[in-house]
Structure 1
Amino acid sequence: MNRIIRTLAVFAASAAVLGAQAQAQAPAARSDYPTKPIRVVVTFPPGGSSDAVVRMLLPRLNDKLGQQVIVDNRPGAGGNIGLSVVAKAPADGYTLGVGAAGGLTANVSLYAQMPFDPIKDFKPVTMLAAIPFVIIGHPSLGPKNLRDLIALAKAQPGKLSIAHGGNGTAMHLSAALLGQMAEVRLVEVPYRGSGPAALDVLSGQIPLAVVDLPSALQHIKAGKLVAYAVTSPQRLAMLPEVPTVSEAGLPGYDSTGWFGLVAPAGTPQPIIARLNAEFTAALNDEATKASMRGLGVEPAPTKVEDFERYLQSETRKWAKVIKTADIKLD
């Protein structure tokens, strides 16, 4: 019996030593990351703002990471197609995803069935950019500010139409949140993107729209469109005279479009930390910031834990808005 006890003690000591060696070696092995190209699945088609921003970061990322970062565009189903690829990928840091508010927060409430769980199946890395929207109207509508617009909508319940960039998009949800907080009934009309929606307001085909800034900026500056408010919590440098929705009469309103970087759940923390450091450094580069702002997007480098909390908060917020508005996508 004593011999057995002594033998087990030897085995236990050996196992402890081997375990300690393995723990000491694991971080060293991960510190070699990356040793091969990294694929970034972008859930939007080539040419869009998210695609353009990621490609803008590539030269710096390739240099700092020492490996090529490859963009793989997988658009469709509000981001679900591309993000499902990421959710099923090995959690080794070599497949990442760029998703927006839809795929990462709202779709779980919009779709009856989802191919992934946006909270459980991903590890947030960093937000990449914020895309503020602007509420615009045709000058012939009459109101010059948001309070007067809301008063008009209350006087004509269910008669004012507001265009947005497509069912389930952040612009759609922005319009729904506006109606709920202002307690007015607006007829929400989906378009295939901000551009067509802004053009129809410009031509007088529809009185109102929620669109991204690049689609409307030049027409606002020319006085051909009225900018009632921006949907972000702060005013925009490009439209400093236009108030936020919160300032203009609906305190607490915030509906900013954004897109961010995620990795499959289970990706080792040292890899997440490395990716966060390199992507946020690239976003903080002054030349990059200027180029992004030229596209109408605001750089939004974020700590991992802050991005994680934001995703959880936005998921809860939009679940309430979607349920109240009874929005469903199949």
Structure 2
Amino acid sequence: MARNFKKNRPLAIVKHALAAIVLVAAGNAFAQSGAAAYPTKPVKLVVGFAAGGPTDVVARAFADHASKALGQPFIIDNKPGAGTVIAAQAVAIAPADGYTLLFGATNHTMIPALYQGRVKFDAMKSFRPLCTVAGSPTVLVVAPNLPVKTLADYQAKARAEPGRVTAGTAGVGSSGHFATEVFARAQGLQLNHVPYKGAAPVVTDLMGGQLDSSFATLGSVLPQIQSGKLRALAVGEPQRSALVPDVPTFAEAGGGNYAADVWYGVLAPAGLPESIAQALERTAADFAKSSSAAEKLRGMGMEAESVCGNAFATRVAREVTTYSQIAKALDLKAD
């Protein structure tokens, strides 16, 4: 028996080697099929705002599309508070496996400016920006009783009465606040910033004439512009918005190359596998291209857009730098 074993030993070694190769190949195939099958369970989409707001509404529209496209539920998890820091923190410390994602907005790039090292994550390094899916330009609107009809009129009034023309925003450090300060600094104007607790009271006081102006997201004031209750002087995009085609850009109206908009998009924890990132980017890009998404977004004063991968990461980095510089110059800090 011993002689037979020794005689057949080379054959046994070959069989064991072949078996090992088969097992490795099977393991690789399983891993590849697992990556290709993503997702295999529900995906959590964390939103840093309460239900019903613009970011939440866009997130739900994207989640519905992604659920159908990828075959697993995309579940909205609202974590409002602290200027979206709570939501961002939850995603930053989550496993980078594609099952916890952040549906964020421009506010994400304001975190370093306002919290200046007081958070436990990095707004850039802790995340992998995947794709934007929608955007809403900033539009300068004025009260119906303000005696200005053009951007040139507005600037002339602000220069003639330094610190008298009021500009309302949704709060200190909000996207509207930064948009206001960027324009004022570029044009050498002294505007009287009036912070509110949200966009709705800004619109109410504008229509009532208690407030002069606001650098607002188009989505927050589109119905009032269309009904004539507010006057739009300029839109902060390189080209005119299809939603308000009669409103000139700031460049056309004499406001230089000023542009400001709010983006809405998907970010993942840093270290997300490339195959999963590509699947999510394709899904987000397809959502932005869909006619149903475009129609829904237009109804909210937004436009579909798709900025993905490195281009999105570059945009995030640029905004972080810009907002940090402005916050430092104005000594802005979150409470």
Deviates more, 1:36-45 or 1:298-307: 298-307
Counterpart code for 1:308? A
Larger Rg, first or second structure (1 or 2): 2
Query: Which residues of structure 1 form unaligned runs of 5+?
Result: 1-12
Q: Which amino acid aligns with 1:272?
A: A
**Equivalent residue in structure 2 for 1:217, among 200, 222, 233:** 222
SS at 2:333 equivalent = coil
Contact 1:150 1:184 in 2 (8 A): yes
The aligned residue for residue 5 of structure 2 is none
Of the candidates 163, 169, 180, which is equivalent to residue 164 of structure 1? 169
Task: Pick the aligned partner of 2:59 from 54, 57, 60.
Answer: 54
Q: Paired residue for 1:106, among 107, 110, 119?
A: 110
Name structure 2 gaps, 5 residues minimum: 1-16
Name the CA distance, whole Å, in 2 between partners of 1:222 and 1:54. 28
For 2:175 and 2:220, how far apart are their aligned partners in 1? 15
Letter paired with 1:106: M
**How do 1:186-265 and structure 2 match up within 5 A?**
186-265=191-270
Residues 70 and 87 (structure 1), Cα distance of their counterparts in 2 relative to 1, 3 Å cut: same
The more displaced of 263-272 and 302-311 is 302-311
**Distance in 1 separating the partners of 2:318 and 2:32:** 32
Secondary structure class of the residue paired with 2:101: strand
The 10-residue stretch of structure 1 (161-170 or 83-92) with the greater mean CA deviation from structure 2 = 161-170
3-state DSSP class of the match of 1:306? helix
Answer whether contact 1:42 1:50 (CA < 8 A) is retained: yes
Residues matched between the structures, number: 316
Q: Secondary structure at the match of 1:125?
A: strand
Q: Deviations over 1:198-238 (max 9, x none)?
A: 11011111111122224333332343322111123321112
C-alpha contact 1:174 1:231 (8 A) present in aligned 2: no
Q: CA RMSD in A?
A: 2.3
Which amino acid is 2:115 matched to?
Y
Stretches (4+) displaced over 4 A: 20-26
Question: Aligned partner of 1:87: which letter?
Answer: A
Query: Could you tell me whether the CA contact under 8 Å between 1:130 and 1:256 is conserved in 2?
Result: yes
TM-score, with structure 1 as normaliser: 0.89
Q: What SS does the corresponding residue of 1:261 show, helix, strand or coil? A: strand
2:287 to 279, 282, 292: 282
Amino acid at match of 2:319: E
The residue number in structure 1 matching 2:184 is 179
1:321 counterpart letter in structure 2: I
Q: What is the identity percentage for the equivalent residue pairs of Structure 1 and Structure 2?
A: 36
Deviation at 1:24, TM superposition (A): 6.8
Q: State the Cα distance separating 1:282 from its structure 2 match.
A: 1.9
**What is the one-letter code of the residue matched to 2:288?**
L
1:120 aligns with 2:114: no
Q: TM-score w.r.t. structure 2 length?
A: 0.88
